[in-house]
Structure 1
Amino acid sequence: MPPAARPPLLQEARLLPGHKGSVNVALFNSDGNYCLSGGDDRRILLWNPRREEAAEPIKTYTGHNERVLGLAVAHDNGSFASCGGDRSVFVWDVPSGRVLRRLSGHSQRVNAVAYAGEGSSLLVSASYDTTARCWDMRSRNAAPVQILEGAADSLSAVAVCGAEILTASVDGVLRTYDARAGSRTADTLGAALTHVALSGDGHCALAGSLDGSLRLLDRSNGTLLNRYSGHTNRQFKLGACLSHDDALVLSGSEDGSLYVWDLVEARLQARIPAARGAVTSVACDPRRLEVLTGSHDGAVKLFTPG
């Protein structure tokens, strides 16, 4: 008898329809029980992605007057931040849908947001205007407490580890700002950067770029640890992340697929059809191997092990 076929690493488990136009960002909350998505339709949708009945959003948040480009969820899951083409950052109360704060100051679209500090006390926004701004969530101060400069082109993504803030820029440089020491380091990677994500232990940074590759860096010294390729990334900002246990690297692709590599060996483990357009967002559940994608075809999908 021939050997039994191996089950797929991941397979589509849920389609979450609701957006009209491209989905630019989709992510889980901090315990993985719910997820949010934002898109060109200027709306943010809250989902229970594992609900058995017909998938419909639990809640819709409206307020942006341009496309939604970035989302971040506070650690306690009670609030979240959004940003987009209207150059604004909104902070929302999850249950009521009320806007708690609207933060203005960027002169161009805001591409990404991330929470930092104990109790999500700081919010960082990264913009096409080449700056990142830090906002104090404990006060009502309308001005940022710090403006991070130094980039020569748009900031496409931001990630936070402790007191350190990482920004990915189209100028090809991954910058790390130490908020406590007031210092800045730069790793020049040579290609326009579209994304940055951190390993669970914070020791490694995963940078996506428009040369069609992902680079894994040792954050302590900038050493290139590994490189992952095979997907297509020449035009768009695409999401990428590490799995919940840091064993796998996952990325979207302009060919409509979800790509999965082994972290250590950089072997391609799976190429999974996910969309009719570019897969723009990829997020892994923080507790298990379940993956959320968003794409240009307007779909949000949940993938679970086969």
Structure 2
Amino acid sequence: MASLPTKVTQTLDCKQRAVRAVRFNADGNYCMTCGSDKSVKLWNPHNGLPLKTYVGHGYDVFDAKSSVDNAHLCSCGADKQIILWDVATGQILRKFRGSIDACVYAWDCRSRKNAPVQALNEAKDSVSSIQISDTEILTGSVDKYIRRYDVRNGKMTADCIGQPVTSINFTKDGQCTLVSSLDGKLRLLDKDTGELLGEYTGHQNTQYVIDNCLNEKDTHVISGSEDGKIYFWDLIEGSITTTDKAGPGAVHSISFHPLESCMLSASETQVHVWREPSYQTES
């Protein structure tokens, strides 16, 4: 438990009203916060310094993701726009028109065309979560299914969870999927067979979209909760290892560093940076 990030080392003063999401960039050196003030902000979370603000959305920004080389970031919002940004200059490179429905759209950012090159429309209700690996697209939907699309062969596989899905993730080794749903459970599934490998309970998740993730070593399952706490479970045993109070309201967004024991959490207007208890803040 000593290696888990249970100590708050920074609190980011976002000034974005409600923070909708917080995400590490690809290498974990920076992070993005998405606000209900229509902005995306880039931070150095390790010293708490804001670096740049990106303004272009018409309504709340729901989420953001950095490119693998960290040169670009992509954000989506309640205005149904997907914006591709140049990280260094803050300029808008492309805008795509999306939707808030049961479809997943894919665009070619190298093309001048704004129309999507593909639409994945198998879901019967809203798509609540999406993750992308090198060769696969994983989606979770309120229709109680997760769907995995292999872009190499065009094959789609679906697994019924039995409850509305709120968050999905690949494990770091790419062999399993972690699924959160509105019955207050997380489920670990074998990615290829859909076999249930583990269940994790004890947190509260019956109303909101609550993020899940795994730590950098795939040894612990982590989730936010509607009771303002962050929960850690042992991946193999399924038992709660520890909980930490993280906010005045639901902890809806969490993000784990790709290589280190470091985590971000968002609750209402607060964003915390977490480290292991022995970590010494740099002066």
Q: TM-score range by the shorter chain?
A: over 0.9
Cα distance in 2 between the residues matched to 1:50 and 1:179: 36
1:147-296 to 2 correspondence within 5 Å? 147-296=119-268
State, as a whole percentage, how many aligned pairs show the same letter: 41
Q: Does 1:300 align with 2:271?
A: yes
The residue type paired with residue 302 of structure 1 is V
User: 1:114: which partner in 2?
Assistant: none
Q: Deviations over 1:186-235 (max 9, x none)?
A: 10001110111111111111111111111111101001111111110111
User: 1:71: which partner in 2?
Assistant: 64
Superposed displacement of residue 21, structure 1: 2.5
Give the TM-score normalised by structure 2.
0.94
Superposed displacement of residue 30, structure 1: 1.1
User: 1:93: which partner in 2?
Assistant: 86
Cα distance in 2 between the residues matched to 1:7 and 1:31: 20
Runs of 4+ in 1 over 4 A off after TM superposition: 6-9
Give the TM-score normalised by structure 1.
0.87
Residue pair 1:18, 1:56 contacting (<8 A) in 2 also = no
Which runs of no fewer than 5 residues in structure 2 stay unpaired? 278-283
Q: Deviations over 1:51-81 (max 9, x none)?
A: 1xxx342111111111111111100001010
Residue pair 2:4, 2:261 contacting (<8 A) in 1 also = no
Residue pair 1:67, 1:84 contacting (<8 A) in 2 also = yes
Cα distance in 2 between the residues matched to 1:230 and 1:217: 19
The residue type paired with residue 142 of structure 1 is N
Q: Does 1:12 align with 2:5?
A: no
Residue pair 2:16, 2:39 contacting (<8 A) in 1 also = no
Superposed displacement of residue 9, structure 1: 5.3
Which runs of no fewer than 5 residues in structure 1 stay unpaired? 1-5, 109-128
Superposed displacement of residue 184, structure 1: 1.4
Aligned residues: 277
User: 2:44: which partner in 1?
Assistant: 48
User: 2:32: which partner in 1?
Assistant: 36
